[in-house]
């Protein structure tokens, strides 16, 4: 079968690119330990009302001084709201949803997580100084999505 010269060149170029991209994945995985997120935590969104952590979500301080904040998002509110946390302390947010996909963005910071029903999104942030922050839902979740805001008070 005859393959034109330019077609052959493009086929080899595509093959080289594919080999390069696959090589990049292998090298970053093996050398730099760049891997997909491994923390997958599931929770039954229909049973949040009886869940020990998410039934009455409240700010808790651990013995080492760090703070855990479980958050339940639902149409169209965050619980708890407002969230009161101390400044200059590592705050771990654990966010889930009881109904549909929501967003959990702390405006003015780089804290931004998706609240996916059935899963717990977790991240840790430290607020350097006292102040008030707005929590915004940044995933369209329904007719009142634009009104889904919460507040964090850092003391
Ligand atoms: Cu929303």
The pLDDT value recorded for residue 29 is 84
| Ligand 1 centroid from CA 77, angstroms | 9
Ligand 1 mean position, distance from CA 60 (Å): 26
15 Cα–ligand 1 center, Å: 43
Phi then psi for residue 5, to 5 deg, are -55, -50
What radius of gyration do the chain's Cα atoms show? 22
CA–CA distances in Å: residue 32 to residues 10, 17, 24, 66, 117 = 31, 21, 11, 29, 32
Q: What's the CA-to-centroid distance between 25 and ligand 1, angstroms?
A: 34
- Measured in Å, residue 147 CA sits from the centre of ligand 1 at 8
Model confidence band, residue 38 (pLDDT cutoffs 50, 70, 90): low
* pTM summary value: 0.75
Tell me the per-residue pLDDT of 56-86, one tens digit each, with 9 for 90 and over: 999 999 998 889 999 999 999 999 999 999 9
Compute how many other C-beta atoms are within 10 angstroms of the C-beta atom of residue 109: 13
d(CA 71, CA 54): 7
Nearest to 82 by CA among 14, 150, 28: 150
Q: Give the pLDDT confidence score for residue 36 in this predicted structure.
A: 62
**Does residue 31 register a pLDDT over 90?**
no
- Ligand 1 centre to CA of 72 (Å) is 13
Classify 47 as helix, strand or coil.
helix
d(CA 34, CA 102): 27
Task: Calculate how far, in angstroms, residue 140's C-alpha sits from the geometric centre of ligand 1.
Answer: 4
CA 91 to centroid of ligand 1, rounded, Å: 23
In this prediction, residue 28 carries a pLDDT of 86
What is d(CA 11, CA 8) in angstroms, rounded to the nearest whole number?
5
**Centroid of ligand 1 to alpha carbon of 42 (angstroms):** 21
Question: What are the beta bridge partners of residue 134?
Answer: 151
Residue in the structure block whose two tokens are 């760049």: 34
How many angstroms does the Cα of residue 101 sit away from the middle of ligand 1? 8
pLDDT tens-place string over residues 72-127: 999 999 999 999 999 999 999 999 999 999 999 999 998 999 999 999 999 999 99
Give the chain's end-to-end CA distance (angstroms, integer).
Answer: 75
């Amino acid at each position: 079968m005859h393959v034109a010269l330019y077609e052959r060149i493009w086929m080899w170029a595509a093959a080289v690119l594919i080999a390069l991209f696959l090589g990049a994945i292998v090298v970053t995985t093996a050398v730099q330990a760049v891997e997909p997120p491994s923390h997958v935590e599931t929770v039954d969104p229909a049973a949040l009302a009886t869940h020990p952590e998410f039934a009455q979500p409240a700010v808790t301080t651990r013995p080492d001084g760090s703070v855990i904040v479980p958050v339940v998002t639902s149409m169209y509110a965050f619980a708890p709201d407002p969230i009161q946390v101390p400044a200059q302390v590592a705050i771990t947010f654990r966010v889930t949803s009881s109904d549909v996909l929501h967003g959990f963005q702390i405006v003015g910071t780089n804290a931004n997580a998706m609240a996916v029903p059935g899963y717990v999104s977790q991240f840790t942030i430290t607020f350097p100084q006292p102040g008030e922050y707005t929590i915004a839902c940044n995933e369209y979740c329904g007719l009142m999505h634009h009104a889904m805001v919460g507040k964090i008070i850092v003391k």
